[in-house]
Amino acid sequence: MTVLNLFKKFRLLIGTFYKQDSQLLFSLLPRYLWAIFICMIYRFVFQAALSGKSVHVDQYALPFPIFLISGIASVRLLVFSLRIFEDTIANIRKSVPLAELLMTPTSLWEIMLAHTAWKGFLAINELIAVLISSKILLNIPLSPFFLFPVVVSGALTVLSYAGIGMTISAANLFIKKADPIFTILNQISTAFCGVFFPIALFPSVIKLLALSLPLTHGLNIVRLSLAGASLDKIAPSIIGFTVITAFFMLTGIVLLQRSLVWAKKNGKL
Amino acid sequence: MYAVEIEGLEKTYEPVPFSNNTKASRALDGVSLKIEHGTIYTLLGPNGSGKTTLLRILSGLIPPSAGKAKICGIPIENQTEISKKIGFLWPGRTGLWPFLTGRQNLKYFACLYNMLPDLADSRISELIKQLDIRNRADYPASSYSSGIFQRFLIARAMVHNPELLLMDEPMVFLDLPTTRELHSLLREFVIQDMKKTIFLTTHQLEEAQTISDVLGFLHQGKLVWEKNASIFRDNRENLLSEYLLAIKNGAP
């Protein structure tokens, strides 16, 4: 086989996988984001290691381990809530044709609400379990009143990402190619919402992006409560986050409802 | 009043944006038919003839582009009332949550139909007894044989006591003994005992002539003919000839 033929063969083989990914931009973008994220976290970890602690952690006056643990535990909330609609549908389709459920007087929204409630309960439990474990195993001080803000923040994070997820699902019903947006949004949130390092570290443009995403606000409330802030101090953050959640939820519901009507009319559900 | 009344039903699927499907396709083209109470009406037709689309329209899953349809006198636009009047069976081993027992599955679907718990419990016990599935009712659905699974599916479709059973190729994945068992179950239990109506679609001619009272043939979205099934019962070849002839004549 000549070199040219070998080249053509590999071009064909690689081309097949390229077609499988279908959208080059969507398959490369998460990888670039991941590279930026890795650079940022190393920079932060080195900074923390050299100085004993990072100046940015002073934002909450939290020890680095609890700052990191609360971030990692919270990021689990968005993993399922983003895909709540897609997962509910996939979960149903595994055993029961979706049509059979849609033919009953119970609406898809009621089934989704039940799914969200159960998954949200599990995820918030996991968050609390991680925080309590860190107190026991790492001897990290926790305020006895940390639970209430953590539960509220967890619930709002789940709801707001469910709203964003429904918006993406609405697009997915319509154009069938929006799936990679879930991965990209998940990675953007993980990288830039202060999971591993405070958003104060970022340039103002990325800070703005971080502030527009719900996880930033959720983590802020969790960390304030872990730092022992009083409810008076946390309340404005909770109110602000509630407004953001309401916006994302309403947008998601309206767009998904419209897409569902369209998909139903055209037999695409 | 008929169990099903359809008049000039049409369905055109619009093109999907950002896809290869750029042309509108006509799935149903002026279908009209009537089904009497307590009978089994079988709709025959090749793939893509519009059978499933018709069932989906009747069940309220997709709206028609034109025409009218009523189930037990209720227009199909009245989705809430229609959902109480119909039960549905899809092909294959789906329709029950595998991790729930048969009884729990029936309770789940009764809950989706907003049935009161006491009423649901008594209805489920009655169905389990009538369908002779008591000894498997408290085992997970994943452990059921195909025959038992089908019995639970019938119980599930009947749990809210509908007037009409819509069945889309219900026997397509079943072996011959299970198919025959299901035929007699449908005829004896659903039609004779429960006095319900069945509207089913199939490609299987033997199934159609064995189980049906009336046969209809759908091709390219049009109802080509309707005949009494008894005329084919003694001679299967006749039905096969009619089937092939209808395809030949209906082809453009």
- B90-122 tens-digit pLDDT: 777 788 888 889 999 999 889 888 888 889 999
Contact B62 A264 (CB under 8 A): yes
Interface of A with B in 153-182 (CB under 8 A): 174-177
A106 interface with B at CB cutoff 8 Å: yes
Per-residue DSSP letter, B140: B
Assign B80 a pLDDT band (cuts: 50, 70, 90).
confident
Tokens matching residue A111: 């089934």
Chain A: closest CA distance from residue B34 (Å): 22
Contact A266 B16 (CB under 8 A): yes
Tokens matching residue B171: 């026997």
Q: Which residue of B has its CA nearest to A263?
A: B62
Closest by Cβ to B60, choosing from A103, A106, A176: A103
- pTM here is 0.76
pLDDT value of residue B103: 93
pLDDT value of residue B75: 93
The helix (run of H) or strand (run of E) holding residue B248 is: helix B236-250
Contact A104 B62 (CB under 8 A): no
Say which range, A10-14, A150-154, B80-84, B145-149, has the weakest mean pLDDT. A10-14
User: Can you tell me the distance from the alpha carbon of A160 to that of A82, in angstroms, rounded to the nearest whole number?
Assistant: 9
**CB B126: neighbour CB atoms within 10 A?**
13
A265 interface with B at CB cutoff 8 Å: yes
Size of interface A-B (CB pairs under 8 A): 67
Is 0.90 exceeded by the ipTM? no
Q: Which is nearest to A107 in space by CA: B57, B113, B78?
A: B113
Average pLDDT score over residue span B202-223: 86
B63 interface with A at CB cutoff 8 Å: yes
Q: Which residue of A has its CA nearest to B17?
A: A175
pLDDT value of residue B166: 92
pLDDT at B157 over 80: yes
Going from the C-alpha of A14 to that of each of A10, A11, A18, A177, A192, the distances in angstroms are 6, 5, 6, 21, 32
Each residue's pLDDT tens digit in chain A (269 positions)?
Answer: 688 888 877 777 776 666 656 555 566 666 666 666 666 666 666 666 555 555 555 567 777 777 777 888 888 788 778 887 777 777 776 666 667 777 788 888 888 888 888 888 888 888 888 888 877 777 766 776 778 888 899 999 999 999 998 898 888 887 777 777 888 888 888 888 888 778 877 788 888 999 999 999 999 998 888 888 888 888 999 999 999 999 999 999 999 888 888 887 777 66
Beta strands in chain B (DSSP E): 4-13, 25-35, 40-44, 66-71, 74-75, 86-89, 164-168, 197-202, 214-219, 222-228
Closest by Cβ to B18, choosing from A99, A177, A265: A177
A95 interface with B at CB cutoff 8 Å: yes
Closest by Cβ to A96, choosing from B94, B111, B113: B94
| Residue B127 burial by Cβ neighbours in a 10 Å radius (0-12, 13-18, 19+) | buried
Max CA-CA distance within chain A? 75
Q: Which residue of B has its CA nearest to A93?
A: B94
Q: Which residues does B91 contact at the CB level (< 8 Å), separation at least 6?
A: B168, B169, B170, B171, B172, B173
Q: Which residue, among A266, A268, A269, would best test binding to B if mutated, counting the most B CBs under 10 Å from its CB?
A: A266
Tokens matching residue A242: 């509630």
The letter for the amino acid at A231 is: L
Closest by Cβ to A95, choosing from B13, B98, B112: B98
Average pLDDT score over residue span B189-195: 82
pLDDT at B252 over 50: no
Q: Which residue, among B52, B94, B116, would best test binding to A if mutated, counting the most A CBs under 10 Å from its CB?
A: B94
pLDDT value of residue B1: 79
A105 interface with B at CB cutoff 8 Å: yes
Contact A267 B53 (CB under 8 A): yes
Distance of CA B120 to the CA centre of its chain: 23
Q: Which residues does A68 contact at the CB level (< 8 Å), separation at least 6?
A: A196
B97 interface with A at CB cutoff 8 Å: yes
Average pLDDT score over residue span B122-145: 91
pLDDT value of residue B39: 92
Side-by-side strand order, sheet with B214-219: B86-89, B164-168, B197-202, B40-44, B214-219, B222-228
Contact A104 B109 (CB under 8 A): yes
Q: What is the pLDDT of residues A129-140, one digit of tens each?
A: 888 887 777 776
Chain A: closest CA distance from residue B242 (Å): 31
Tell me the chain A residues in contact with residue B86 when contact means C-beta distances shorter than 8 Å. Answer: 103
Q: Cβ(B152)–Cβ(B183) under 8 Å?
A: no
B55 vs A227, residue with greater confidence: B55
Closest by Cβ to B83, choosing from A103, A265, A269: A103
**CB B82: neighbour CB atoms within 10 A?**
23
List, in sequence order, the alpha helices (H) in chain A: 3-21, 24-51, 64-81, 84-95, 98-102, 108-138, 147-175, 179-192, 204-211, 214-226, 231-265
Contact B113 A104 (CB under 8 A): yes
Tell me the chain A residues in contact with residue B96 when contact means C-beta distances shorter than 8 Å. Answer: 95-96
Per-residue DSSP letter, B122: H
Beta strands in B120-213 (DSSP E): 164-168, 197-202
pLDDT at B19 over 70: no
Q: Cβ(B69)–Cβ(B9) under 8 Å?
A: yes
Distance of CA A36 to the CA centre of its chain: 18
B135 interface with A at CB cutoff 8 Å: no
User: Can you tell me the distance from the alpha carbon of B118 to that of B40, in angstroms, rounded to the nearest whole number?
Assistant: 32
B71 interface with A at CB cutoff 8 Å: no
Q: Which is nearest to A229 in space by CA: A69, A59, A65, A75?
A: A59
B212 interface with A at CB cutoff 8 Å: no
Q: Which is nearest to B26 in space by CA: B40, B15, B38?
A: B15
The letter for the amino acid at B98 is: P
The letter for the amino acid at A252 is: G
Tell me the chain B residues in contact with residue A99 when contact means C-beta distances shorter than 8 Å. Answer: 56, 59, 61, 88, 90
Q: Cβ(B70)–Cβ(B77) under 8 Å?
A: no
Side-by-side strand order, sheet with B25-35: B25-35, B4-13, B66-71, B74-75
Q: Cβ(B58)–Cβ(B76) under 8 Å?
A: yes
By percentage, how much of chain B surpasses pLDDT 70?
Answer: 94
* Locus of tokens 């916006």: A247
Tokens matching residue A90: 């996939």
User: Can you tell me the distance from the alpha carbon of A191 to that of A40, in angstroms, rounded to the nearest whole number?
Assistant: 8
Q: Which residue of B has its CA nearest to A261?
A: B62
- Which long-range contacts link A151-155 to residues 24+ away (Cβ below 8 Å)? A151/A124, A152/A221, A152/A238, A153/A74, A153/A217, A153/A218, A153/A219, A153/A221, A153/A222, A153/A225, A153/A238, A153/A241, A154/A74, A154/A77, A154/A120, A154/A123, A154/A124, A154/A127, A154/A218, A154/A222, A155/A120, A155/A124
Contact B94 A97 (CB under 8 A): yes
